[in-house]
Amino acid sequence: MNPVTLRAPGLVLRPWRVDDVPALVEAAGDADLRRWTRTSVGDAADGARYVEEQRQGWESGSRLAFAVLEDERLVGHVVVKGVVPGAPVAEVGYWTAAHARGRGVAPRAVEALTGWAFATFGPEGLARLELLHQVDNLGSCRVAEKSGYDLDRTLPAAPPAYPRDGHVHVRRAGPAA
């Protein structure tokens, strides 16, 4: 799939680039980001690998990831993954840099990604997007709710990869999307 650029109020969502690596390394150093995500970027080499993985995701169509920028500064990441032509369900993920939390960056970016995903892969295909997070990640619960994703169910923990129970929030295609 060809990469695209999206816009949300005050934000630009665009494919990751190599020149994002220094800001990515800085953002990934945040303890909260490491706690809540599987993003593991410790240095420039890790950052370059991360950016390359995002490029490959676009190339294969399996992981459509965007760097989120505000005034040309990296403030986060959003992704839709598991999109398969004709399949009704895919997953949305995101993270926000520490310096940008609490300002509505994540809900704006998730909303833009959601609208784009439904417009691009629906209506005959994609019918539902899921947003997953650990039950004790209250910030992600608020982002899901602000983005129109309703709590659907709780998943049991599956250590070691998922040591805590998780919430599954769902947004269905339709007028709100």
Taking only the tens place, the pLDDT of each residue in 40-60 is 798 999 999 999 999 999 999
Instruction: Could you list the beta-strand ranges (E) of the chain.
Output: 6-8, 11-14, 63-70, 73-81, 89-96, 128-134, 150-155, 166-172
At 15, the pLDDT band (50, 70, 90 cuts) reads very high
Domains of the chain, first to last: 6-172 (3.40.630.30)
Question: Higher model confidence: residue 85 or residue 22?
Answer: 22
Q: What's the pLDDT tens digit per position in 57-102? A: 999 999 999 999 999 999 999 999 998 877 899 999 999 999 999 9
Q: How many helices (DSSP H) and strands (DSSP E) are in the chain?
A: 5, 8
Where does residue 102 rank: exposed (0-12), middle (13-18), buried (19+ CB within 10 A)?
exposed
Peptide bond into 107 cis (omega under 30): no
Q: What's the pLDDT tens digit per position in 149-175? A: 999 999 999 888 788 899 999 999 976
On the question of pLDDT at 177 being above 60, the answer is: no
Instruction: Could you list the beta-strand ranges (E) of 110-177.
Output: 128-134, 150-155, 166-172
pTM over 0.75: yes
On the question of pLDDT at 176 being above 90, the answer is: no
CB 14 within 8 A of CB 66: yes
